Amino acid sequence: MKTIHSFILATLLLLGLPPAILAADFQEGKDYRVLDRPVPTSTGDKIEVVEAFSYACPHCFSLEPATAEWLKTKPENVELVRIAAIWRPDWEALARAYYAAAQLGVLDKVHKPLFEAIHTEKKPLATPEQLADFFAAQGVDKTTFLNAYNSFAVETHVQRGKQLIQRYAILGVPAFIVNGKYFVDLSTAGSAPRLFEVIDFLIAKESGKG
């Protein structure tokens, strides 16, 4: 065990991650779980961290500031991939809005405001028309947004997202999958800061396997 910990510690230092992560001694089955079947990643040579979320989810909204901070310091060999979960009809509209924003290259402009509009301002954003008005307020042409919203590319992302949620066996959001192998969420980690410590620990573990 000491040899394994020393190896991961060296990897943490190489990645510029705090050695304190190792001190927590994260345990499989407690702090994270291993998927029964690994799922192929989509990020090439980079380690993939999948975040399953929904704009409708209050827990996702609460976690977003911590996620944004983690993104600023994540290792260069890591790429975050978001999947918009769909468990209700109104969630599908928001999922389509996410993928449309990604397709149009305006995620940086609308991601945080969309969360805030739903959870802070309590705006009704459950239909394509309501979402088009919201995007227009962010400087995105309504017709351009609706064309993307209804596009084949967005439909493909929606269907792919549904498939991945099933393959990862995700039952609630927010949830994270590290490199197609490890599941971690707020329930397993215990808190938002610890969640990202576990994610960084698993990143270091996967980096060491290089």
Q: Whole-angstrom Cα distance, residue 133 to residue 121?
A: 15
Q: Please give the structure tokens belonging to residue 144.
A: 């351009």
pLDDT digits (tens, 9 = 90+) for 132-143: 999 999 999 999
Total Cβ atoms within 10 A of residue 199: 24
1-85+170-210 and 90-165 have identical folds: yes
What does the pLDDT read at residue 23? 47
What does the pLDDT read at residue 63? 97
Judging by beta carbons within 10 Å of its beta carbon (0-12, 13-18, 19+), is residue 193 exposed, middle or buried?
exposed
Q: Whole-angstrom Cα distance, residue 78 to residue 104?
A: 23
Global pTM value? 0.87
pLDDT-derived band at 89, boundaries 50, 70, 90: confident
The domain covering 90-165 belongs, at the CATH homologous superfamily level, to Glutaredoxin (3.40.30.10)
Asked whether the predicted pLDDT for residue 2 surpasses 50, the reply is no
Mean pLDDT computed over 19-28:
66
What does the pLDDT read at residue 10? 54
pLDDT digits (tens, 9 = 90+) for 168-205: 999 999 999 999 999 999 999 999 999 999 999 999 99
Q: 1-85+170-210 adopts what CATH topology?
A: Glutaredoxin (3.40.30)
- Cα dist. 59→62, 172, 173 in Å? 5, 10, 7
Q: Whole-angstrom Cα distance, residue 12 to residue 207?
A: 9
Where do the structural domains in the chain lie, given as residue ranges?
1-85+170-210, 90-165
pLDDT more than 90, % of the chain:
84
